[in-house]
Structure 1
Amino acid sequence: MTNWLPDKSELKRPRYRSLMEAIEHAIENGLLLPGDRLPTHRELAFQLQLSVQTVSRAYTRLIEAGHIVGEVGRGSFVRNPADDHALPFPAQRASDEIVDLALLKPIVGNFHRDAMQRALRQIAGDLPTDILSSFRAATIAGRHVEAVDEWLELCGVPPDDMTVIATNGSTAAMTVAMMSVARSGDLIVTEKMSHHTVPALCRSLGLRLHGLAIDEEGILPSALDAACRADSVKALYVVPDSGPVSCTMGTDRRQAIVELARQYDIAIIENDACGPLPTGGISPLSALAPERSYYFTSLTKCLLPGLRVGFLAVPHNAASTVRERHMITNWMVTPLMHEIATRWIEDGTARALLDCQRDALRERAAIAEKFLGGSNARIGNAGLQVWLPCPDIGSEARLVERSREAGILVAPGSTFSIGPLASEPGVRVSLGISDTQVLRQALRVLRSITGENALMYGPHL
């Protein structure tokens, strides 16, 4: 790394701002490159004869501006701007010759098309006034409340213990939850392999983000405990059922995580995008600790991608704050989508679509087990995906590239890694393909590619 340190005599007051500008200048001129590690707060303070508080303030402002990232226990690094556009799936539209196993989505068929057409015809013949005139961000009421309560109970969340807000899907709910529990400079901890939008969201909100060690059940309680001892953690963002690497958190592990959250008084932001799709019957963390949990789910992953409706359940004493954050970011849930969701829950269509999805994914999970079962692949509890571990980042890159050359898109594990380095090499393979013959052929090709490259697959958690 080229010497980029500013001349301490040139640092003007306020010195934190002058230091911040010097680091920005070094990044802009290539003296600091993406991934470069910056000195610790104390090291830089000693070298420039500044107070540690001055350096800390400059680093915090640089994190808020999106120039650097800070990781508890590892230090501060220059952020790669390309990370803002990194997606676990290609930007181009897949052609007929391309099999897209990168984008995680449920199976869609004629049953779904028929259900949507039927719902739209019914609404057209009996159009609720609210769909035309709703313009006020209000708490869900009436029959909508009963439908939401029914769905949350199906997810294992007792709705009476929490206040529920309807949102435009999980992404909106996640943003509102994060904004409600943390302020700029606060520390959020999560799995070291997490949802690909979490780093960008935390950068946008000026939040620090740290990835925690995981095993086949997700976050290690010892890792959460260590992070809370090392710094003031504001909230835990967790995906207890699958996540990108197909970990499923057991009941005892969930209880241990909840006990630590209570011990250190941290909030729990629980992403349960698949909702009732898994059939394991394990209670969400939010059912164990409703007083500190921000639970969200949606109908997108378990029923239909186009049905952008989600539900955010929060502690009663946080309801006013959450409603305000929802109002300034989304204003209100789209009335037409919410009406369709309510009708489907009321008339049993939602349960029928859920059962249809479960049956289809069980079939595809069996196909995945047949073709990839010998490579230590982990099939997600919901059946939507397979995690195929690689021994190193080079093997991951080769597998992604060889698959692309063969006409198959898979999601590289590096896009889910929390931090500047790939923490868990591998690829995520989506099973949401309608045509089972196409899926069989694609997985057969993947198995062949892994054999050709002699990749030593195995559990690397």
Structure 2
Amino acid sequence: MTIWPPKSGELRRPAYKSLADTVVRAVDAGELHSGDRLPTHRNLAYDLGLSVQTVSRAYDELIRRGVIAGEVGRGTFVRAGRSDTKTPFVQDSQNEKFIDFSILMPVFEAMHLAEMQRALTQLGADLPSSAVSAFRPSTALRKYTAAATKWLEGCGLNPSAQGLLMTNGNTSAMTIALMTVASCSDLIVTEDLAHHTLKALSRYLGLRIQGLEADAEGVVPASFAAACQRSQVKAIYLMPSGLNPRAATMSAERRAELVAVARQHDVMIIENDAWGPLQPDRPAPIAAMAPERTFYFTSLTKCIMPGLRFGFLTMPEAFASAAANRHLVTSWMATPLMAEIGCRWIEDGTAERLLNWQMDALGKRNEVAAKALSGIPFQSSPNGMHVWLPIPGAWTEEEFVAHARLNGVAVAPGSAFAMSESARDQGVRICLGAETSRTLQRGLNVIARLARSNPEPALLTL
């Protein structure tokens, strides 16, 4: 069944929004491409039995989202797929002053810069030749295996029997994992709100992506099982330890249930644990429960320092060679200089000290958020980097994001994480790490005021 063009009677109310969403789905599905010309307002209105005003409003909405563009004298054209352009964070903040809750990052203060300056000064005195001269990945990175193993053990793994790759952070590891477990047209499933790059990356790799029903813990096992019964699922992508947009932490029981379904249907598991040991009381990683089918990745970037782009990918030994080959063609190898700094810090205790500092800082910021949002339903994890705020009252997601921005606060819309345009929970992600303590409080006060305002629906369209 094709998405575009829709047939008369297929659109829901309000028709303008349904038509706009249909165009977005068609772009994301590859039925409309960048540069394609759309029908005139009048012709499309006639074909669908709508008013010209309704079609014009839909086109205006698509222009606002950045999906289409109108050219005087030529018509209206598809500009780009939403998955190609939409990010949850504000990409250019230099020309506008606002409190930025849109980007997910750890707390960074002057002492972090001083720590890196000390590390670079020390490297200037005793930098090993291999950090700048070795060209073969095995030669350049072999010396860091012990430190990598030590960090992964702190994450709850026993990596000695697993394949191990060192990567330039989590994005590199995620790409390698997807390329290794799946081939063109294979189906990947995940929860309905997942990592914001997963949908676009899957499409670039020729993979199909499907969102599953999720609850307060994450993917619902029955939804996973039903997907496996309907189609051949190649892998399930999970963020079980608070990293997911809803800030949900999956219980050990839920993890075991999902593993059981994966084993029954021979589905691989990709576990994104970017925060690593930031959550001290979390259950053991899924990779510890099902090492024979799990690709697990983490890094020092989120829990230690944003600029320390150094991470680890483990996988079943049978996939180690294939993963290494895919790493070669995409990144060649982890940057040895970053590996040198990261592993020195793991070995001399600096990484653990910075981790403990980050846990304490984020714990305090979560307490500030809980106090500011008192009485307003939200979801969080004790040491997490963000909270999830379900859209309150008469607000819509887009209206809440827009009104927050008008009040000088940027938040991430839930739509940026949606795996499909179907019904899902409306909400915003509020990140706690990027701002100072003072601006954090000010921004949370704005969010709380908007959440409590519960405006009349008519006022939101003015």
Shorter-chain TM-score bucket reads 0.7 to 0.9
What are the residue-to-residue correspondences of 1:329-344 with 2, within 5 Å?
329-344=330-345
1:382-410 Cα shifts (integer Å, max 9, x gaps): 32100000169962111111110111110
Q: What residue is the counterpart of 1:211 in the other structure?
A: 211
Equivalences for residues 31-430 of structure 1 within 5 A:
81-94=81-94, 97-138=97-138, 142-242=142-242, 243-390=244-391, 395-421=396-422, 423-430=424-431
Root-mean-square deviation over aligned CA pairs? 2.7
- AA of the residue aligned to 2:317: H
Inter-partner Cα distance in structure 2 for 1:393 and 1:79: 31
Q: TM-score, normalised by structure 1?
A: 0.81
Shift of residue 3, structure 1, vs aligned partner: 7.5
Question: In 2, are the aligned partners of 1:170 and 1:273 still within 8 Å (CA)?
Answer: yes
Distance in structure 1 (CA, Å) of the matches to 2:439 and 2:215: 32
SS in 1 for 2:451: helix
User: Which residue identity lines up with residue 247 of structure 2 in the other structure?
Assistant: S
**1:139 shift after superposition:** 7.1
Shift of 1:364: 0.3
Query: What residue ranges of structure 2 are gaps of 5+ in the alignment?
Result: 8-29, 45-77, 458-462
Conserved in 1, the CA contact under 8 Å of 2:235 and 2:269?
yes
Q: Could you tell me whether the CA contact under 8 Å between 2:249 and 2:282 is conserved in 1?
A: no
Alpha-carbon separation, structure 2, partners of 1:24 and 1:344: 49
1:28 is the counterpart of 2:36 = yes
Q: Distance in 2 between matches of 1:81 and 1:109?
A: 37
SS where residue 423 of structure 1 aligns?
coil
How far apart are the structure 2 equivalents of 1:223 and 1:151? 34
Q: Distance in 2 between matches of 1:363 and 1:381?
A: 9
Is the CA contact 2:392–2:454 (under 8 Å) kept in the aligned structure 1?
no
Compared CA separation, residues 366 and 207, structure 1 to 2 (3 A): same
Q: Which amino acid aligns with 1:223?
A: S
Distance 1:300 1:126 in 2: 24
* SS of alignment partner, residue 165 of structure 2: strand
Q: Residue type matched to 1:451 in 2?
A: R
Q: How many angstroms apart in 2 are the aligned matches of 1:133 and 1:359?
A: 39
Q: 1:390 to 1:399 in 2, by over 3 A?
A: same
- Contact residue 3 and residue 31 of structure 1 kept, 8 A: no
Quote the Cα distance in structure 1 between the aligned partners of 2:217 and 2:33.
43
State the number of aligned residues. Answer: 397
Residue 444 of structure 2 corresponds to residue 438 of structure 1: no
Q: CA deviation at 1:163?
A: 1.2
TM-score, reference length from structure 2: 0.81
Measure how far apart 1:138 and its partner are. Answer: 1.9
Task: Flag the 1:24–1:369 CA change in 2: closer, same or farther, 3 A.
Answer: closer
Equivalent-residue separation in structure 1 for 2:163 and 2:420 (angstroms) = 33
The unaligned stretches of length 5 or more in structure 1 are: 5-21, 37-77, 457-461
Q: 1:440: how far off? A: 1.0
1:230 aligned partner, one-letter code: R
Change over 3 Å in CA distance of 1:325–1:393 after alignment to 2: farther
- Structure 1 residues 344, 3: CA separation in 2 closer, same or farther (over 3 Å shift)? closer
Distance 1:23 1:290, change over 3 A: closer
CA distance in 2, matches of 1:334, 1:216: 38
SS in 1 for 2:137: coil
What is the Cα deviation at residue 92 of structure 1? 1.4
TM-superposed deviation, 1:380: 2.9
Give the Å deviation of 1:452.
Answer: 2.1
TM superposition shift of 1:134: 1.7
Alpha-carbon distance between aligned partners in 2 of 1:260 and 1:140, rounded to the nearest angstrom: 39
Say if 1:366 and 1:82 are closer, same or farther in 2 by CA, change over 3 A: same
